[in-house]
Structure 1
């Protein structure tokens, strides 16, 4: 394995580590329709990667007559219940990559705009101690696409954020990772992500290993140093 290891890998959760987007979409649709309004697939896609309280305000603007806090609590409880009943829906290759990174001694943190209770619910069911810290949507004042969540994760690990690799599935999350200065890998899922020199794109995490991560990190660091 190359000796140029990242200090840590910072993982998004929904859509990257686990395929919970269908759960969120179903919960949003049911909630909006309970108030006699319509929630389309396109509406749901506009919220992918957004902070929960920002999403709640969008739902309020679409006729959901609840406080933002109540909307967040309701959606989170619905999704957590489905995970409990149906198990953790891991994205292809995600659990294997997380395990391989742990074996290789590469540290990992979870950086999600879900609330801590939801993130901990997922992590508790992974069955490993791979994540050293969790940064969640209820712990940051500025959610993704702001850089704050990724900067906070690196600070909690005591590492330089520019020596971290971030893995994201949404445009909003990717913008956060890039703004923070990470080496960003996009793994598009529910929404497309345009190609850009700001990040690397992988079609899937299936078959990816710690070596794959360190190769990307080494390549991007070398490229940055040659400018």
Structure 2
């Protein structure tokens, strides 16, 4: 798999994105069933009940926030213990079966082959990120941002701003967030990407945030680099 990356500076002379930033859970891979199973198991262990509505309300949330909600549901563990338990469930799940969202791996490969920088920006912690990266069939990401490496999680823009910062440092050229595309599936995630100034693209999965300050797609299938360039033409003109 090609691993050459164009610099953001060279990308500004065309309508190509300067970079593409990706959420992981629910956008690239379908881990939501693993998270939800872990939540339900924890609550049941302490004699409580956990509804589908409660599970869906946590989709895309920062893990410390999700842990506090589980504590309110009766889980008598520390925030750290809850995060570790949920993360172990997800790691076991993706090691057993890594479920790609339709079109996601293909688009990753197309962007990589075009030499466009890419970043992974996720609320999952570094342990899960490393397991995911180890299973990739190619080297796609120039930088990665994990949930335990930022002070404020999604929906705060910090994770995406950190991704832009790391890419800018790597290529020694300041990126314009508006010329970068951010793919997300949840309300916290798409809010973070949009608030960071990225050209935010929503691909709903377990939940549907509806319309907002973002482009909405039903699927990543059949998406081309020309599509991304068309979106950014008014910005890069």
Q: TM-score range by the shorter chain?
A: over 0.9
2:216 corresponding residue in structure 1: 201
1:46 corresponding residue in structure 2: 57
User: Structure 1: which 5+ runs fail to align?
Assistant: none
Is 2:164 the partner of 1:149? no
2:195 corresponding residue in structure 1: 179
2:3 corresponding residue in structure 1: none
Please list, as runs of the form range in 1=range in 2, the aligned pairs for 1:47-196 lying within 5 A after superposition: 47-86=58-97, 88-158=98-168, 159-196=175-212
| SS of alignment partner, residue 118 of structure 2 | strand
Is 2:18 the partner of 1:3? no
Q: 1 CA distance for matches of 2:23 and 2:224?
A: 17
Is 2:61 the partner of 1:30? no
Q: 1 CA distance for matches of 2:208 and 2:93?
A: 26
Are 1:150 and 1:161, in contact at CA under 8 Å, matched by a contact in 2?
no
Q: 2 CA distance for matches of 1:205 and 1:47?
A: 23
* Deviation at residue 128 of structure 1 after TM alignment: 1.2
Deviation digits for residues 75-107 of structure 1 (CA, Å, limit 9, x no counterpart): 001110111122x11000000000000011111
* Deviation at residue 217 of structure 1 after TM alignment: 2.2
Q: After TM superposition, where is structure 1 displaced by more than 4 Å over at least 4 residues in a row?
A: none
Q: 1 CA distance for matches of 2:214 and 2:71?
A: 34
Q: 1 CA distance for matches of 2:42 and 2:230?
A: 44
Are 1:51 and 1:144, in contact at CA under 8 Å, matched by a contact in 2?
yes
State the TM-score, normalized to the length of structure 1: 0.93
1:21 corresponding residue in structure 2: 32
| SS of alignment partner, residue 131 of structure 1 | coil
Q: 2 CA distance for matches of 1:35 and 1:209?
A: 48
Q: 1 CA distance for matches of 2:74 and 2:232?
A: 45
Q: Give the number of aligned pairs.
A: 219
Q: 2 CA distance for matches of 1:24 and 1:45?
A: 10
Q: 2 CA distance for matches of 1:117 and 1:209?
A: 31
Q: 2 CA distance for matches of 1:186 and 1:85?
A: 27
